Chain A
Amino acid sequence: MNYDKSVIRNFSVIAHIDHGKSTICDRILELTETIEKREMKDQILDSMDLERERGITIKLNAVTLKYNANDGKTYIFNLIDTPGHVDFTYEVSRSLAACEGALLVIDATQGIEAQTLANLYLAVDNDLTIIPVINKIDLPSARIDYCREELTERIGIDGDGAIPVSAKTGENIKEILERIVSDIPAPSGDNSNPLKALIFDSYYDPYRGVVILIRVKDGKVKVGDKILLMRSGASFVVTELGIRTPKEISTKELNCGEVGYLCAQIRDIKDVDVGDTITLFDYPAKESLPGYRKIKPMVYSGIYPTDSRKYGDLKDALEKLCLSDSSLRYEPETSQALGFGFRCGFLGLLHMDVVQERLEREYGLDLILTSPSVIYKVYLTDGSVMNLDNPSKMPDLTLVKQIEEPYVKAQIMTPEEYIGPIMQLCQDRRGVYIDQQYFDATRRVLVYEIPLSEIIYNFFDKLKSYTKGYASLDYEISDYRVSDLAKMDILLNGDVIDALSSIVYKKDAYKKGLKLVSRLKEVIPRQQFEVPIQAAINGKVIARADVKAVRKDVLAKCYGGDISRKRKLLEKQKEGKKRMKMVGSVELPQEAFTSILDIGEDKD
């Protein structure tokens, strides 16, 4: 088909988690016959196994589709999917920068959620045209008029213009496509201008090197062109261009306004920086595109291979993973207990979880993750300040003047009846009450300032369980504040295990120490000899528990000659042991390193 910029529509979909974004995308793919029915798997854009299993979108994903509109013309749609979880806001901002419009999906039974708002503001910031869509109208509890009102009153978008749909039954999906044609502007720019293509994603392919996903904002690019990556300064010759439907179809060129992929035999991952601008080496653009707001990781944790010989594999895996997850940060670190590994920065705990699972699944690694930590500002007596992202690196207390920790401003939206328990939870987590707003007749928004460290220790899970899943949480870093903090060490057999150290609020230290040692006692299997576990602050032991010695470990019966079975049982146990880390003379399972996460408060 000939290139015609006026029939191109680039858009993404914004929605709160569970509001049906991926299902709507599936229906759109179906209706445009991009994917034949028989190829249709549920949530086709969620290509990672992990995404399908968890039912969430983690990575953004782009697809090109054709739509024969009522006006008789055929339009080219580029749909860029976005993740909905608060941890992945960065990915959302990336996809929005590649679009002219966005569908805003709202669950007809739930109304607008805090997270929907946050992403919507991102879209508006990017000057996108918003098309509101009210989903799940097939459900009996759907409140379409109420959602329309909410759109108008809360956000100032014309609620009457919202499209009521059911992604489940397919009702009104066609209306969405027509509105994309009529409401979202065609891309601006011109093929004759110098090339400006935004890199919005990339991944590594063993055969083709780095595959870059681009949105051509201005100019055009052909196979054989010599390109320049403006920020990194690297240049390459384009070997392959194409679009994803979602099958890859190679093309000779990508024109202004188009979305597609680009390969240029790029072997070194470091040359490609998501958010960078590609231009032509011989006909360069004067200035690069704005790129992205660099996002700072909020949570840090050490990642170590269970088998120290796999350090090199872990390094390669992290490098490759970074390509498709540019929010991940890492640098080498060493632990006495765990050997060589990396200190990694994550956007949040879910992000950390996802990274761990991807490393283990996609790269076949067995990993130990230390308990997550935030960045503390440690003011030393000599006047210097250190940013501490690893509790074990805390300087001697005599050298420390004061410690500051990051606070977040947390907005919790909840049905009224859960206000009590949530306030209790926030208080337990050292939260400072700021405000309470009425969101609508039945829901309120609580605003608290809470130390980030308290949020990362299973705050979200607690919140969900206290409110039967109804509350939602949105937070952003507000500032750093002085706190009365101390490093709590864990000793096994009398030796400090650096990987188990954590920073705690002094007033909670005694309680936390007790809980931590008893939790460790639960998760550490019996050892050959009794092992004392101690929690200590400033060298003073505040709690102790003992891991028992193995007393009896034998499969007594071995008759009928079924010896193969016994061997297989032992093999299985041996596999289990491989996931343990030998620290000194003690075998520690992965859970031991993150057990501080499980002791947020009393088990209820």
Chain B
Amino acid sequence: MKIKKKKINSLYIHIPFCKNICPYCDFVKFYSNKSWEDQYIKRLIEDLNEVEKKFKKFKTIYIGGGTPSILSSENLINLLKTLNKLKKKKCEFTIEANPEDIDDNFLQIIKEYNINRISIGIQSFNKSILKEIKRDYSINYFELIKKVKKYIKNMNIDLIFGFKDQTLKDLDEDLNSFIKLDVNHISIYSLIVDEGSIFYVKKYEEQDEDLSRKFYDFILNKLRNNGYERYEISNFAKKRKYQSKHNLNYWKNKEYVGLGLASHGYIYPNRYNFTKSLSNYLNREDLIEKEVVNPKTMKEYFFLTNLRLKDGFKLKDYKKTFKSEFVDDYEVLVNSLIKDNLAKITKNRFYLTDEGLIILDFILLKFFDF
């Protein structure tokens, strides 16, 4: 008898290797090493074969890192071959890449194996900022993106703002450089100095709250004026169809399978993460940590994901999940948020306004505390 396969939309694959360690990054990562890489990909493929037995084919697959583009052609091809067995015919299939790694060989491989979206971590076009974050500042991005487009049109670019001494003029120039590239999606994050990053150790100072807000408002305005719609706090797309379906799946609090060292997954009722130790991962020791979602944390997850979205959530989705009416459960809070112009409610939806989104955590605490 054949086991009935579980239906989950999204699959995330983590590649924890990097050539350079970015000073702002607090992810688990290792300097690349051929032997580790080989063993790692071998393990990953074994796991993927298991996943294939248990789950239906995926609507979105995302290879993130670390730096997936650092993989050797052989490892990359082996991984992609396996993933091709797990994808639906129509699948948003994304890979993250570092500008330094992108060459015709890489692009040919990913194209050949059906990758149809690429996310490039440029972070900034400003030479002194690039130096500060240890990036190659000699790349001609205009030429690079032109080349990528020949292979893959659906593209995201990551930018970061809020560096020390960065001025509004610097930011404006970064945005102009981006806009000139005519790319359909951008993720733009304010620099956060997290524990575990080099900046943290160096006591790098985050941008002051008021200034950060000023930068954020500037970005929102400028990108909107240039045809980008902000659909999540830090994500903008030219058209609805260019929104990241994979990330939307997270933000709608839906299930996803995560595989690879330090990756996260959500298979109801478990949220889990893989070990952060490479040797444990390779030896299959203490592999997974689980958190069972309970009714209380379920609500917290529901709000902290859905409220990131410009469109918030459908009231009927809330009712379906929690068997009660959202407006009844949170009447006082909802009314005060609406009164203060931090949120709006329609017949179908509840969502935060621009003013609300930018203080999301402040609002979330009110929901958590209610």
- Decide yes or no whether B265 CB sits under 8 A from chain A: yes
Q: List 14 A-B contacts (CB under 8 A).
A: A528-B340, A550-B362, A551-B212, A552-B358, A553-B209, A554-B357, A556-B189, A557-B189, A560-B27, A560-B264, A561-B264, A561-B266, A567-B300, A570-B300
User: Which B residues between 352 and 368 are near A, CB-CB below 8 angstroms?
Assistant: 357-362, 364-365, 368
In the assembled complex, B99 has its CB within 8 A of some CB on chain A: no
Q: By the criterion CB–CB under 8 Å, are A570 and B365 in contact?
A: yes
Let me know if B190 and A556 touch, CB within 8 A: yes
A574 adjacent to B64 (CB under 8 Å): no
Complex CA gap A211/B19 in Å reads: 68
**Beyond A559-B64, A561-B256, A573-B361, 17 additional pairs, beta carbon < 8 A:** A526-B209, A528-B340, A550-B209, A552-B190, A553-B362, A554-B357, A555-B361, A556-B190, A561-B258, A563-B271, A563-B301, A567-B300, A570-B300, A570-B304, A570-B361, A570-B365, A570-B368
B113 at interface (Cβ–Cβ under 8 A)?
A: no
Q: With both chains docked as a complex, state the minimum distance between the C-beta of A536 and any C-beta of chain B, in angstroms.
A: 28
Interface residues of B (CB under 8 A from A): 12, 14, 27, 64, 187, 189-190, 192, 209-210, 212-213, 216, 233-234, 247, 250-251, 256, 258, 263-266, 271, 273, 291, 297, 300-301, 304-305, 308, 340, 357-362, 364-365, 368-369
Contact of B361 among A528, A554, A557, A563 (CB under 8 A): A554
* Cβ contact within 8 Å between A574 and B12: no
Q: Are A557 and B192 in contact (CB under 8 A)?
A: yes
Q: Mark A531-564, 1 if CB is under 8 A from B, else 0.
A: 0000000000000000010111111111111111
User: Which of B233, B258, B369 touches A574 (beta carbons < 8 Å)?
Assistant: B369
Min CB–CB distance A562 → chain B (angstroms):
5
A569 to B, closest residue via Cβ: B361
Q: Which residue of A lies closest to B364 (CB)?
A: A570
A561 CA / B308 CA spacing, docked (Å): 13
In contact, A554 and B359 (Cβ under 8 angstroms): yes
Q: Across the interface, which residues of B come within 8 angstroms of A563, CB to CB?
A: 250, 264, 266, 271, 301, 304-305
| Distance between A304 CB and nearest chain B CB, rounded to angstroms | 20
The distance in angstroms between the C-alpha atoms of A604 and B358, with both chains bound, is 38
Inter-chain contact total with CB atoms closer than 8 Å: 95
CA gap between A558 and B301 in the complex, in Å: 13
A577 contacts B by Cβ under 8 Å: yes
Chain A residues positioned under 8 Å from B12 (CB to CB): 560-561
Chain A residues within 8 Å of B364, by CB: 570
Known: A567-B301, A574-B369. Contact between A561 and B361, CB under 8 A?
A: no
Q: A455-489: contact bitstring with B at CB < 8 Å (1 yes, 0 no)?
A: 00000000000000000000000000000000000
**Do B209 and A551 have beta carbons less than 8 Å apart?**
yes
The verdict on A566 contacting chain B, using a C-beta distance below 8 Å, is: yes
Report, as a range, how many residues of chain A touch the other chain: 20 to 34
Does A571 have its Cβ within 8 Å of any Cβ on chain B? yes
Which 8 pairs from chain A and chain B are nearest by CB?
A551-B213, A552-B213, A554-B360, A553-B362, A561-B264, A556-B189, A553-B359, A553-B361
Q: Enumerate chain B residues within 8 angstroms of A570, measured Cβ to Cβ.
A: 300, 304, 361, 364-365, 368
Q: How far is the CB of B333 from chain A (nearest CB, A)?
A: 12
Contact among A526, A555, A559, A574 for B247, CB-based, below 8 A:
A559
Instruction: For B258, give the chain A residue with the smallest CB separation.
Output: A561
Please, which residue of chain B has its CB at the minimum distance from the CB of A555?
B361
Most chain B CB within 10 A, of A556, A557, A560, is at A556
Contact of B368 among A552, A553, A555, A574 (CB under 8 A): A574
Given known A-B contacts A551-B209, A553-B360, A573 and B233 have beta carbons under 8 A apart: no
| Cα of A574 to Cα of B12 in the assembled complex, Å | 30
Q: Is the CB of B14 within 8 A of A560?
A: yes
Smallest CB separation, B329 vs chain A (Å):
18
> How many Å lie between the Cα of A559 and that of B192 in the bound state?
13
Within 8 A of B (CB), among A125-149: none
Give CA–CA (A550, B362) in the complex, Å. Answer: 8
Contacts of B340 in A (CB 8 A): 528
Contacts of A550 in B (CB 8 A): 209, 359, 362
Chain B residue contacts of A548, Cβ below 8 A: 210
B361 near A562: Cβ-Cβ < 8 Å: no
Chain B hits for A571, CB < 8 A = 300, 368
Give the complex CA separation of A411 and B233 in angstroms: 63
Report chain A residues within 8 Å CB of B359: 550-554
User: What residues on B are CB-neighbors of A528 within 8 Å?
Assistant: 340, 362
With a cutoff of 8 Å between Cβ atoms, the chain A residues found around residue B308 in the complex are 558
A567 contacts B304, CB within 8 Å?
Answer: yes
Q: Which of B14, B187, B297, B365 has the most CB of A within 10 A?
A: B365
Whether A551 contacts B291 in the complex (CB less than 8 A), given A556-B189, A560-B263, A564-B264, comes out as no
A556 and B265 form a contact (CB under 8 A): no
- Beta-carbon contact of B365 and A577 below 8 Å: yes
Residue of A with least CB distance to B300: A567
Which of A552, A558, A567, A573 is in CB contact (< 8 Å) with B209?
A: A552
- Contact of A554 with B233 at beta-carbon distance under 8 Å, contacts A561-B258, A567-B300 already known: yes
Q: What is the bound-complex CA distance between A200 and B123, given in angstroms?
A: 71
Q: Is the CB of B263 within 8 A of A561?
A: yes
Instruction: Give the distance in Å from the alpha carbon of A505 to the alpha carbon of B251 in the complex.
Output: 58
Question: Which chain A residue has the least Cβ–Cβ distance from B336?
Answer: A528
B299 CB to closest chain A CB, in angstroms? 11
In the complex, what residues of A have CB within 8 A of residue B256's CB? Answer: 561
Report how far A571 CA is from B367 CA in the complex, Å.
11
Q: How far is the CB of A388 from chain B (nearest CB, A)?
A: 38
CB within 8 A of A561: which of B187, B189, B250, B300? B250
